[in-house]
Structures are given as structure tokens and as C-alpha cells.
């Protein structure tokens, strides 16, 4: 099942306490994934696990701590957390086989971009999890990293699912001004490219569609999605859900299949 991956927006931490249909959407996705694929390990890439250099990181500690990496939010948000067990064998093998692309980060665990989706998708009977960072490297370099992750997963015979998180439009300045939520041209374009299977265009969106790209400032420059594309090597994809619960922050879920 290594040729399967999901792009899933995690949204603002406020989703934890707000009435938001996206939580139900995540729960439904989790049930579908369990029934259809029953993954042993989830590789998850969050835009909040980021390094400024060319190298990407993963974690090899057995227990992945919950990181509440948000500040200035209501006190009740800090009552929520999600911890998971790492697939240490897979993470260690990834480091060995990555030709220096992946390094060890000893202090990280699951940031809110990773654990909030997992919290709703797999509340019980948790799969093992391996977090993968993004970096300053190019989209093509992240694609290559995804291919390596796929190769190692297959070598170990893992039923591995790749989840990439982030918001397509991530304009926090619009959020603060409390404007009316609306779809950006970038979101419309990205949804079209996903549904039409134009994955090369997705890898090159910043250069092919610079105006739309810069106006949306996609979270993590979509590098989690680029890594997912390298892992899945998709031939088809479809958007499963889309919402704009806050001005300037959009939510998207999509399935990618080989």
C-alpha cells in the first residue's frame, strides 16, 4: 500500500475547541483509512517541523512527545495532546539509506501540524508514526526524499501511509483583520491541478504561477506535498474536502494514488 498518500490540512489550533466540521471530516478519513489500508506506520510531514538548511530531519526516539508549539491561545487548548510510538527501525533505516538527506533530530516529536490530524483520525488503535521535516531544499529535492522513503518502506515490508499537512492558503494577516473567508485563485488552481493529475505543475507552482503562489503564501511552500508526491509517485488524485473556516486560512484534503 506504499503507493498511497493524503494531503490533509491541520488548520489553526483553535479547531480543538471550536465547532468545526473539519474534525468530523478527519474522523471519517481515519475510519476509511483503517478499514481500507490498516497502515502499520504513518509517515507524517508537517510544515512546523522545519530546518533552515538543505538537510531534512527525522526522529529516532521510541516515544514521540506531543509538542504544543503554539502561543497566545486560550488556556483550554493546552489540555489537548496526542502521543504516539515511533517506528524506530524504519526511521533508523531511512537515515542510513538517505545519502545524507535525512539527519537525526533528538528533541522533536509531534508538533501540532502532525498531532492534530492524528488526534481525530486515529484516536485509538494508533499506528506507529515517523515524523519527517521539510527544509530549505527545493521541491525536487523533497520529491527525491519521498522516493527514498518509499524505497526503504518497501525494503522493510511496511504497510506505510504518507500524510502531508499544511494549508494551501496561509495568510495570517487576513485572519487578524477578520475578513470574510473566500477561496483564493491559488486554491482554485491547486484543486484543479490535483483533480486533473498535473503533478509536475504542482512541483513547479512557484515558478509557473508566481502571482497566485505569492498571494497565497502556502504553508511550508507545499514542501510536505512535494515529499508526498515523491513517495506515492501518483497517477491519479482527487480532492476529498475543502473549507475556509477562517479568512486567509484554507483547509484541503486530497487522496493521491499510484
Q: Is pLDDT above 80 for 234?
A: yes
Q: Mean pLDDT of all residues in the chain?
A: 93
Tens digits of residue pLDDT in 113-158: 999 999 999 999 999 999 999 999 999 999 999 999 999 999 999 9
Bridge partners of 66, per DSSP, are: 110
Q: Which has the higher per-residue pLDDT, 248 or 134? A: 134
Please give the Cα distance from 113 to 228 (Å, whole number). 15
Dihedral angle sign, alpha carbons of residues 188, 189, 195, 196: positive
**Looking at 1-5, 13-17, 117-121, 183-187, which range is the least confident one?**
1-5
In this prediction, residue 53 carries a pLDDT of 84
Q: Is pLDDT above 90 for 8?
A: yes
- What pLDDT band is residue 2 in, cutting at 50, 70 and 90? confident
Domain ranges of the chain: 4-257
Among 2-6, 17-21, 162-166, which range has the highest average pLDDT? 162-166
Tens digits of residue pLDDT in 169-181: 988 777 666 677 7
In the chain, the percentage of residues whose pLDDT exceeds 90 is 81
Name the architecture of domain 4-257: 3-Layer(aba) Sandwich (3.40)
- What pLDDT band is residue 245 in, cutting at 50, 70 and 90? confident
Please give the Cα distance from 157 to 176 (Å, whole number). 47
**Looking at 17-31, 93-107, 168-182, which range is the least confident one?**
168-182
Average pLDDT estimate for 9-35: 94
Nearest to 175 by CA among 233, 121, 250: 250
In this prediction, residue 64 carries a pLDDT of 96
Q: Is pLDDT above 90 for 34?
A: yes
Please give the Cα distance from 166 to 129 (Å, whole number). 17
Q: 127: which DSSP letter?
A: P
Bridge partners of 64, per DSSP, are: 84
Please give the Cα distance from 162 to 122 (Å, whole number). 14
In this prediction, residue 110 carries a pLDDT of 97
Amino acid at each position: 500500500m506504499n503507493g498511497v498518500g493524503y494531503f490533509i490540512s491541520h488548520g489553526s489550533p483553535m479547531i480543538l475547541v471550536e465547532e468545526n466540521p473539519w474534525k468530523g471530516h478527519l474522523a471519517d478519513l481515519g475510519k476509511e483509512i483503517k478499514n481500507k489500508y490498516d497502515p502499520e506506520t504513518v509517515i507524517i510531514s508537517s510544515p512546523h517541523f522545519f530546518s533552515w538548511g538543505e538537510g531534512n530531519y527525522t526522529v529516532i526516539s521510541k516515544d514521540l512527545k506531543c509538542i504544543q508549539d503554539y502561543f497566545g491561545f486560550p488556556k483550554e487548548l493546552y489540555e489537548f495532546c496526542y502521543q504516539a510510538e515511533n517506528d524506530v527501525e524504519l526511521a533508523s533505516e531511512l537515515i542510513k539509506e538517505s545519502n545524507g538527506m535525512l539527519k537525526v533530530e533528538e528533541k522533536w516529536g509531534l508538533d501540532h501540524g502532525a498531532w492534530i490530524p492524528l488526534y481525530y483520525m486515529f484516536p485509538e488503535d494508533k499506528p506507529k508514526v515517523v515524523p519527517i521535516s521539510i527544509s530549505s531544499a527545493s521541491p525536487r529535492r523533497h520529491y527525491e526524499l519521498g522516493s527514498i522513503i518509499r524505497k526503504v518502506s518497501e525494503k522493510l515490508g511496511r504497510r506505510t501511509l504518507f500524510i502531508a499537512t499544511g494549508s494551501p492558503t496561509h495568510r495570517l494577516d487576513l485572519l487578524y483583520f477578520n475578513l470574510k473567508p473566500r477561496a483564493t485563485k491559488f486554491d482554485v488552481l491547486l484543486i484543479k491541478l490535483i483533480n486533473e493529475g498535473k503533478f509536475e505543475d504542482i512541483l513547479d507552482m512557484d515558478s509557473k504561477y508566481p502571482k497566485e503562489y505569492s498571494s497565497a503564501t502556502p504553508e511550508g511552500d507545499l514542501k510536505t506535498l512535494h515529499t508526498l508526491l515523491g513517495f506515492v509517485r501518483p497517477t491519479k488524485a482527487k480532492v476529498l474536502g475543502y473549507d475556509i473556516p477562517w479568512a486567509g486560512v484554507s483547509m484541503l484534503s486530497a487522496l493521491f494514488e499510484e
